Amino acid sequence: MQDGVYPGIATHDERIIAHARMYAVAAGIAPERFEFQMLYGVRRDLQESLVREGYRVRVYVPFGTQWYPYLMRRLAERPANLAFITGNVLREMLSGSSRRAA
């Protein structure tokens, strides 16, 4: 961030995001000098919040014939991702239901 490199911080972890934001503010690094990267459909609320606050967010969409092996590798790296993904799917379903009811 400080050396003129344009880093992409690829995470959905709010603690990591908060730390990156605090570091940038403390070091005087403008939000346009880095970006957060997240998967499509996972924590859209967080993605939208970051954009509203002036941060750049790149959203990735795994596609093609290798999307399933990619997903399995991510789950094998960190089994807690399964609970994370399930929770986000449920959150999206519930928020979508409340938007349709309104």
CA distances in angstroms from 11 to 17, 63, 94, 102, listed in the order given: 7, 19, 23, 32
Q: Could you give the C-alpha distances from 16 to 21, 29, 54, 98, 99, in angstroms and in order?
A: 9, 16, 17, 29, 30
Q: What residue spans define the domains of the chain?
A: 1-61, 63-102
Average pLDDT, the chain: 84
Between 94 and 99, the more confident residue is 94
pLDDT tens column, 33-49 = 999 999 887 788 899 99
Nearby residues of 13 by Cβ (< 8 Å), 6 or more positions away: none
Alpha helices for the chain (secondary structure H): 14-27, 44-52, 67-77, 80-101
Report the pLDDT value the prediction gives residue 26, as an integer from 0 to 100. Answer: 96
Provide mean pLDDT across the span 66-76: 78
Q: Which residue has the higher pLDDT, 102 or 76?
A: 76
pLDDT above 90: residue 56: yes
Length, in residues, of the chain: 102
State both tokens at 59. Answer: 């959203």
- Tell the residue number behind the tokens 């969409």, with chain if given: 61
Question: Per-residue confidence at 100, pLDDT binned at 50, 70, 90?
Answer: low
Return the axis-axis angle of helices 44-52 and 80-101, rounded to nearest 10°. 70
Predicted pLDDT of residue 77:
75
pLDDT at position 97 is: 57
